[in-house]
Amino acid sequence: MSPFLFWIFALLTLIFGAAVVINRNPVASALSLVVSFLGLAALFMSLNAYFIGIIQVLVYAGAVMVLFLFIIMLLNLRAEEARRINWLATAGGVAVALILLGQIFSVISHLKFAQNPFPPLAGLTVDDVRNIGAVLFRNYNLPFQIVGVLVLVATVGVVLLSKREPR
Amino acid sequence: MTPESFLIITSLLKIVGILFIVILPMVSYAVYAERKVSAAIQDRLGPNRVGPAGLLQPIADMFKLLLKEDFTPRAANTFYYWLAPCLAVMPAIITIAVVPFGSTLFGVPMVIADVNVGILFVFAIASLGVYGIVIGGWASNSKYPFLGGIRSSAQMLSYELSLGLAVIPVFLLVGNLRLTSVVRYQIEHGWFIAPFIGDWTNPWKWLLTIPMIVSFIVFTIAIFAETNRLPFDLPEAEQELAGGYNTEYSSMKFSLYFLGEYAAMITGSAVIVTLFFGGWHLPGIPDGSHGWIFGLINIAVFFAKVAIIIFFFMWVRWTLPRFRYDQLMRLGWLFFFEIALVNIFVVAAIVPFIQ
């Protein structure tokens, strides 16, 4: 993968990720999150993980965020008022973020394969859809089915809760 | 020339060629064809003043739309108001990147990006198309466009399920998500909805045709809903919403929405042709490795098939009335979703006898 493209998409993901938090208008925040997801998907694809990348777009950008926007627009949320900044809370947040960053950095810097940035890829012939399917349905079939039942239970629960009682 | 620069140059040529020589003229002439077809169905003449048989009408329309006043309502959210029409056109045009529109021409495969997630790419990018309509409806800051945008997001999300489930039978047989593999499978085994091509003596293949036609019908109807075409054009129902999400738009921004709808129709038809009608394949015509003339014929065959499907789209539009909104949602969730689901099991039961 070309480092040039990596920097473009990494910057895109990070800038719009920050815009999600900074924007005061909820619609603008949601759309920034969509762009951030698209940048992340591009990063996955540039690592030849086409399946993960495209599922990122299909599920998060194409379905979940559309529902988010749908709800935000239906509730007709106004842009939030600019609040006074609580300096103590801000300092705490920055400290926690810095500690997490330091931990991630210390773990990654000790990994063997992290010494070689932009390593050569496995090649275009890898059929990642087939590989993921094989691993999911052969090695992890039972957990996969259990997750499916869990999601179904959650769906039925939501339908039941939002259903109006017949008079 | 290195392989990389060769790839980049041929890809650029393909992108420019397919976009400016085929898709964009096809979009503008699809509008003309729509007016002519509607005129023929309603026993009128249609546009016939500009040029021979009105053939220069799209160019006149373009100049008319460019010269109209470009009006932005004062209450609108200007940035998103300008962004939305672009978001409506882009996904439809990007989708064509993975569709194989020909065999080979001078040894270069006639598909812009042959990725191994082909059909998922189509769905993912098509699902982004809803943003153009939703944001347009919201940013106009007006009641009817807003209702149109909300309707469209609910409608497109609902029909994406049927869309995705309807194609699974195709990929159960092909065993690969690549769209070029779908075309190659159909060249070897016959088109998915026409079992008399290929080894027609296999009775299981004739049995397979029934779920394949069901799959094709569900997929086509879901494409109708995804492209907001009648009988599913609820987001822009004129009688209820005064035009829907594009009510507040004028001039070139309005026409971008218009072009986006037709571009989505063309890419939708291209996907239908690729999945069910053998792509660029026509029995008796060899592929592009036998000479460049056959490569060109393959491309022509593909776009001829696309034109036939587009004609079908227009025919339906001027024949059927519009659904009511609750009927539309019930149809999607309680009818097509289940049919597509059952269809997968039927095909899965037949597949072992085919191989």
Confidence (pLDDT) at A147: 94
Which of B117, B138, B157 lies at the smallest CB-CB distance from A66?
B157
More confidently predicted of A23 and A153: A153
Confidence (pLDDT) at B118: 82
Under 8 Å between Cβ of A51 and A77: no
Which positions in chain B touch A58 (Cβ < 8 Å)?
120, 123-124, 127
- Residue A164 lies in domain: 127-167
Q: Are residues A82 and A152 in the same domain?
A: no
Q: Are residues A42 and A80 in the same domain?
A: yes
Q: Tokens for A6?
A: 């990596």
Residue B246 pLDDT exceeds 80:
no
Is B247 in a helix, a strand, or coil?
coil
CA-CA distance, A128 to A51, in Å (whole number)?
Answer: 6
Under 8 Å between Cβ of B149 and B209: no
List of E strands, chain B? 104-105, 108-109
Which positions in chain B touch A73 (Cβ < 8 Å)?
134, 138, 146, 149-150
Using DSSP bridges, classify how beta strands B104-105 and B108-109 pair: parallel, antiparallel or unpaired.
antiparallel
**Which residue, chain included where needed, has tokens 């016939």?**
B48
Write out the DSSP string of B241-272: HTTGGGTT--HHHHHHHHHHHHHHHHHHHHHH
Q: Are residues A153 and A119 in the same domain?
A: no
Confidence (pLDDT) at A151: 93
| DSSP at B280 | T
Which positions in chain B touch A67 (Cβ < 8 Å)?
157
Which positions in chain B touch A132 (Cβ < 8 Å)?
none
Under 8 Å between Cβ of B227 and B318: no
The band of B8, judged by pLDDT with boundaries at 50, 70 and 90, is confident
Residue B194 pLDDT exceeds 80:
no
> Would you call A161 an interface residue with chain B, using a CB distance cutoff of 8 Å?
no
Amino acid in position B250: S
pLDDT tens profile A37-65? 999 998 888 887 888 888 888 888 888 88
Residue A96 pLDDT exceeds 70:
yes
In CATH, what number is assigned to the domain containing residue A10?
1.20.120.1200
Q: Which residue of A has its CA nearest to B114?
A: A124
Residue (of B262, B223, B258, B265) closest to B244 by Cα position = B258
All residues at 6 or more sequence positions from B11 whose CB lies less than 8 Å from its CB, including other chains: B112, B113
Number of domains in chain A: 2
Under 8 Å between Cβ of A62 and B124: yes
Under 8 Å between Cβ of B315 and B294: no
The predicted model scores a pTM of 0.85
Alpha helices in B44-194 (DSSP H): 57-67, 78-95, 118-139, 143-174, 179-189
Confidence (pLDDT) at A126: 67
Under 8 Å between Cβ of B86 and B133: no
Confidence (pLDDT) at A102: 94
Confidence (pLDDT) at A152: 94
Q: Are residues A58 and A138 in the same domain?
A: no
pLDDT tens profile B166-183? 888 888 888 888 888 888
Q: Are residues A57 and A74 in the same domain?
A: yes
> Would you call A58 an interface residue with chain B, using a CB distance cutoff of 8 Å?
yes
Q: Which residue of B has its CA nearest to A41?
A: B124
Residue A124 pLDDT exceeds 60:
no
Residue A121 pLDDT exceeds 70:
no
> Would you call A19 an interface residue with chain B, using a CB distance cutoff of 8 Å?
no
Q: Are residues A153 and A97 in the same domain?
A: no
Residue (of B190, B192, B157) closest to B171 by Cα position = B192
Average pLDDT, chain B: 83
Q: What is the C-alpha R_g of chain A?
A: 21
Which positions in chain B touch A62 (Cβ < 8 Å)?
123-124, 127-128, 130, 160
pLDDT tens profile B16-56? 888 888 888 888 888 888 888 888 888 888 888 887 887 88
Residue A122 pLDDT exceeds 70:
no
Q: How near does any CA of chain B get to the CA of A22, in Å?
A: 17
- Give ipTM to 2 decimals: 0.79
> Would you call A57 an interface residue with chain B, using a CB distance cutoff of 8 Å?
yes
Residue (of B87, B126, B21) closest to B253 by Cα position = B87
Average pLDDT, chain A: 84
CA-CA distance, B339 to B210, in Å (whole number)?
Answer: 13
Which of A51, A54, A73 lies at the smallest CB-CB distance from B138?
A73
Residue B355 pLDDT exceeds 70:
no
Average pLDDT over residues A81-96: 83
